[in-house]
Structure 1
Amino acid sequence: MPAVLCNQLVRHYQDTQKGENDYYELEKIIHNKDIKAVFQPIISLLDGNVVGYEALSRGPQGSSLERPDDLFAAAERFNKLWELEFICRSKAFDRVKGLSKDMMLFINVDPNIINDERFKKGATLEMVAAQDFDLSNIIFEITEKNSIADYKNFRKVLDHYTSQGYKIAIDDTGAGYSGLRLLAETRPQFIKIDMDLVRDIDKDVLKQALIKAFYEFSVVMNMKIIAEGIETIDELNTLIQIGIPYGQGYLLQRPAAEFLTIHSLVKENIISKNKQKKQEAFHTPLTMPIGEISRRDPGFPEGITGSQALEYFNENPHLMGITLLQGEVPVGLLMKNKFLVHLATQYGVAVYMKRSVGSLMDNQALIVDYDMPLEQVSKLAVARYEDSLYDYIVVTQYGKYYGIITVRQLLEKTTQLEINRAKHSNPLSGLPGNILIEEKLQQIIESRESYSVLYFDLDNFKAYNDTYGFDNGDKILCMTAQLIQLQLKSANVAEYFVGHIGGDDFIAIVHGVDVAPLCQTIIDYFDVRIRGFYTEEDQKIEYIVAKNRHGIEEEYPIVSLSIAVVTSRECKFKTPADLGEAAGAVKKKCKMVWRSCYCID
């Protein structure tokens, strides 16, 4: 008998035996209801809190059908899906007694089962009622193990369940065309992004673009996205940066028999990353630390061999370089393209595969500190030799290796910051406008730190505008904005924020400084500079004649500057509106003085 035929017969016999064993094992599992329910938390990527759990099922430990994919594949092969899924749902609902009523519960449902008459008769409804669980928190997670032949009727079936209060989630979105069609036809409340799209998303710009497209689609369609399979901090941080609201994966928590919460360190990271994301609105390339956008790629001892480096590059095709370390200190960079060039030489493989790559590394790599601003790093990056222009930038913190930045990341973040700032800035002064001002005020109120808020208002400005024209009025506004920023910078204020409320109103927020001398200095400079915007004749008489609101001519003094200051001394402010109201009261006192002045609450 030919060897090929013999092998085929052996495989056929083995498959038959396995099939028979799986059949009897499945029958035993269903008869004994020997299914273990486990639960994996779904986490808010805004605050790290658990919002719900996905109910998962496992076969008997040590069984050939312990793994869920083997278990359900056998059930489908032997036409036992209904029986198996019924037991799985029963086991899951038996456990929800200990679950908070505001938690969502995701139940996996095969499309063929949801059409089954036994399913339609309300078996799930009876299980939910027995546990006093809110229907609106039950989400049927549709897994497309089989193709759906009739989307129109399938949609009607789903409408039947959603009308009762259930919600729908589509699993593995992005895994293929059929998944996208299912999404379009079913209009679910939740979209679960396939884990293959999440894997290494921090390193893959194509995946980032796809997830961003899904996110924008979900916002328009009022759907919520859940990213599955999150396994690294960098994947998590990238998803937070994009704006994905929910996540699930081994990094956050593994499936367990208990209702577990998220690991504390990961929760702290989520909170910190969201706080950092909010602060980005106030950042410019001049103020944003490079470390905040760095990628936490692992470092390697400089003594690793060429074969070890090549293995790492092959296992991580999206990585273009590795940082080499002495202890925890970076000493060089090995870029993939340059390494492969060395291997391609006549004796390259023989020479380098068993030797340390230390001799091949770039020991003049660009290494920057975590707190160095983006703009400064950009200048250093483009000043490199042309053959190193696109090499990774190594980031250190406290002298130790922290991570890397790609040139693409650097350019994208710089552009994004400029666009964000321009979008929310006053077009005349270029200063942050009302949206950013309100967010900053809310931020300092919540921080409980010591601060002072300075409200600037130009007196007699309307009369000047009417007499000298809007063009000259705009020049005064620009001068005022520049003057405030310059004096804050000259006073060596450690942390400050300047915004343009609108018209002739400005705001500054300062920390850790005596504001009285600062206000007086700003007023002194303003009173000198403002006179240059008047004719010599008007400067001499120190007023102009203009019509008031009632059309009557009136004498108006030279434009002066009022500064109303409120502080956090009594920590009495709960909202930006409270702070604004207090500033308005202080401003009234300033207006009673017919010259430039400041009042502190």
Structure 2
Amino acid sequence: MEQKIVRELDKIISGKHIKTVFQPIVSLRNGEIHGYEALSRVICQTDLANPEDLFHAALTYNRLRELDQLCRTTTLETISGKLTFDKKLFLNVNSLIINHDQFQLGFTSRFLKQYSLKPEQIVLEITERNSIADIDKFRKTIAHFKAENFHIAIDDAGAMYSGLNLINTIHPHYIKMDRRLIHNIDLGRLNFALIKGMTEFCRMSNIRLIAEGIETQSELMILIDLGVPYAQGYFLQKPDEQIKDIDAAIKRMITDCHKRKNNVFGTPSANSHISNICTPTEVVSKDTKVEDIFNKLKANPDAFGFCVVENERIIGMITKSHLTLQLSGRFGFSLYQNQPVSLLMDTDFIAVDYQMPINEVSRMAMSRPQEKLYDFIVVTKNDNYLGTVTIKDLLQKTTEIEVVKAKYENPLTGLPGNLVIEQKIRMCLSEKKTFGILYLDINHFKEYNDIYGFENGDCVIKLLADILVLHLPPGQFVGHVGGDDFVVILDDKDLKSYCSHVSSEFSRKVLHYYNPTDRANGYIVAENRWGVIEKFSLVTASVAGIRAKSQDFTSVLDLTEKLAKLKKKSKKLKDDNYLLIQS
């Protein structure tokens, strides 16, 4: 058996029976391609067709370096001349390989040039972290590649505790979440909490988070809602031999989700992009003398600093306060005046994508150490320098956003509240057309809340809110009245299918918020409103809907009163969870 595996390995390597396929890594802010992960596949008949089996065998039988070199060369030959400069190429590199001196000597900018690639485009994705024996040497290796402008990613973060230590040791540019955390995130609260925490950690650490293994629309929507910036997976696009964009329908799904999040019916957005308050700041080169920087700041008292840019990319920044501190003292100015600014510039700064929501940037800025708390924020577009945002402008906009949220949004779900709902209904009535309007709440919610507590009750309310948004057709409206009550306004032709999808999906997913006994019984035992112990069915979504002709209603009050009466009727239904009527 052993000899057979070795022969198979040698056949694959000597015959170059490897091809490369590429899976896109997609921005969950705009649906654009951020880069591609290169994956190797065997193209001959063999028992080692599975990539994991192949690389495990290569490691076991001392063929890893040869196989790795074949896969990497095949990838570079395949993609040569096809990757635009603004896209990244993610290359999987075993930790044993990257730590080898031969790899460091051979994988250089000169080597990449023959394939029309630059180090800035390459992301070295570290695999098999448990094989790192000499962590000090590994740290120096990573520092070497960072200095050469390569980017570093850690694969399957969260799969083991050692991954957290490694993140702290090397501070990668990217972290890829273990796909097991993503699987069924829409059903499990523990995974949801873990990913939420990891997202916040990456924001604060200025690390880009990538979710792997997206297989369903529901998983995608929740990751967008959590603010995960990048993702890849079969739902977005399967690996392909060609460098392809994702399907237009998937891109539209991502942008539509953001439109629903970012547009609260004519009000300022609670998630306005940072580009809206970004302004250009004068840039300098790394060779600019410190004395020249000092004179510029002296001539312009309003200037707060400069960005140090090379090839359109920011490599550092110098603030007025930082420079003043460095030049203070008896010999400070004479010591540095003729030195390049690169000697004093700060390379540990916050740089954010121009589409990052302002509230996220604000959280990142406020989590910095005290000495950096008031440094300006750098904004980039496609990793190129775009401009800066001062803390004053950031705080002013954040305050405005919080006022808007308090006035227009429900604090639990972030959905439009009563004021916006009323305005939306009034607008629909004024347009003199037929439209659909739904009133939803949760059957037996009070009893569930009494038994399982308000925290679980809030989770169930948010589950329904997520499902309502997930299935909402583009351009339609969902609002949160309060408690477990919601209003949805949509085209009347979509009413029945929407109600059916929402009702069935909620009934299925809410089961995960019960203990095994109650789930098996199909009911809970609780006191009713009169203090009598009673059996109550598991919660379901109750939906009352009207195909409303605007001419049949004299006011918003007239319509909502009819909807409230219909809601009472819908709660008495035994077979269906929704009731639709004509106005």
Q: Which moved more, 1:287-296 or 1:192-201?
A: 287-296
Q: Given the alignment of the two structures, is residue 293 of structure 1 paired with residue 293 of structure 2, yes or no? A: no
Label 1:235 to 1:123 Cα distance change in 2 as closer, same or farther (>3 A): same
Q: Report if the CA contact (8 A) 1:53-1:105 is conserved.
A: yes
Structure with greater Cα Rg: 1
Q: CA deviation at 1:249?
A: 0.4
| Residue of 237, 240, 245 corresponding to 1:256 | 240
Q: For residue 88 of structure 1, what is the aligned residue in structure 2?
A: 71
Q: Given the alignment of the two structures, is residue 42 of structure 1 paired with residue 22 of structure 2, yes or no? A: no
Supply the AA of the counterpart residue of 1:86: Q
Q: Report if the CA contact (8 A) 1:333-1:361 is conserved.
A: no
| Residue of 141, 164, 169 corresponding to 2:125 | 141
| Residue of 201, 207, 212 corresponding to 1:228 | 212
Q: Report if the CA contact (8 A) 2:213-2:234 is conserved.
A: yes
Q: CA deviation at 1:149?
A: 2.1
Label 1:201 to 1:259 Cα distance change in 2 as closer, same or farther (>3 A): same
| Residue of 4, 8, 24 corresponding to 1:25 | 8
Q: For residue 185 of structure 1, what is the aligned residue in structure 2?
A: 169
Label 1:369 to 1:35 Cα distance change in 2 as closer, same or farther (>3 A): farther
Q: CA deviation at 1:368?
A: 5.2
- Report SS of the residue matched to 1:294: helix
* Aligned residue-pair number: 331
- Residues 435-483 of structure 1 show CA distances to partners (whole Å, capped at 9, x for unaligned) of xxxxxxxxxxxxxxxxxxxxxxxxxxxxxxxxxxxxxxxxxxxxxxxxx
Q: CA deviation at 1:180?
A: 1.4
Structure 2 distance, partners of 1:220, 1:50, is 24
- Report SS of the residue matched to 2:131: coil
- Report SS of the residue matched to 2:176: strand
Q: For residue 455 of structure 1, what is the aligned residue in structure 2?
A: none
Structure 1 distance, partners of 2:187, 2:200, is 21
Q: Which moved more, 1:54-63 or 1:361-370?
A: 361-370
- Report SS of the residue matched to 1:36: strand
Structure 2 distance, partners of 1:99, 1:218, is 27
- Report SS of the residue matched to 1:55: strand
Label 1:62 to 1:338 Cα distance change in 2 as closer, same or farther (>3 A): same
Q: Given the alignment of the two structures, is residue 99 of structure 1 paired with residue 83 of structure 2, yes or no? A: yes
Structure 1 distance, partners of 2:45, 2:581, is 49
Q: For residue 219 of structure 1, what is the aligned residue in structure 2?
A: 203
Q: CA deviation at 1:150?
A: 2.2
Written as runs of structure 1 = structure 2, the 5 A alignment for 1:396-435 is none
| Residue of 168, 176, 190 corresponding to 2:152 | 168
Written as runs of structure 1 = structure 2, the 5 A alignment for 1:425-464 is none
Supply the AA of the counterpart residue of 1:367: V
When normalised by structure 1's length, the TM-score is 0.49
Q: For residue 381 of structure 2, what is the aligned residue in structure 1?
A: none
Supply the AA of the counterpart residue of 2:160: G
| Residue of 51, 58, 61 corresponding to 1:78 | 61
- Residues 238-289 of structure 1 show CA distances to partners (whole Å, capped at 9, x for unaligned) of 1111111111000000111111211221111100011111125364232469
Q: Report if the CA contact (8 A) 2:99-2:137 is conserved.
A: no
- Report SS of the residue matched to 1:121: helix
Q: For residue 366 of structure 1, what is the aligned residue in structure 2?
A: 542
Q: Report if the CA contact (8 A) 1:144-1:179 is conserved.
A: no
Structure 2: tracts of 5 or more residues without a match: 265-269, 271-403, 410-416, 422-437, 441-463, 472-496, 523-535, 549-559
Q: CA deviation at 1:109?
A: 0.4
Structure 1 distance, partners of 2:110, 2:188, is 46
Structure 2 distance, partners of 1:326, 1:265, is 23
Q: CA deviation at 1:395?
A: 8.2
Supply the AA of the counterpart residue of 2:163: G
Structure 2 distance, partners of 1:192, 1:364, is 36
Q: CA deviation at 1:343?
A: 6.2
Q: CA deviation at 1:367?
A: 2.6
Structure 1 distance, partners of 2:232, 2:62, is 31
Q: CA deviation at 1:365?
A: 5.3
| Residue of 35, 38, 41 corresponding to 1:55 | 38
Q: For residue 262 of structure 2, what is the aligned residue in structure 1?
A: 278
Structure 2 distance, partners of 1:292, 1:343, is 25
Q: Given the alignment of the two structures, is residue 209 of structure 1 paired with residue 193 of structure 2, yes or no? A: yes
- Report SS of the residue matched to 1:43: strand
Identity of aligned residues (%): 36
Q: Given the alignment of the two structures, is residue 196 of structure 1 paired with residue 180 of structure 2, yes or no? A: yes
Q: Report if the CA contact (8 A) 2:109-2:118 is conserved.
A: no
Label 1:182 to 1:327 Cα distance change in 2 as closer, same or farther (>3 A): closer
Q: Report if the CA contact (8 A) 1:292-1:370 is conserved.
A: no
Structure 1 distance, partners of 2:4, 2:130, is 24
Q: For residue 151 of structure 1, what is the aligned residue in structure 2?
A: 135
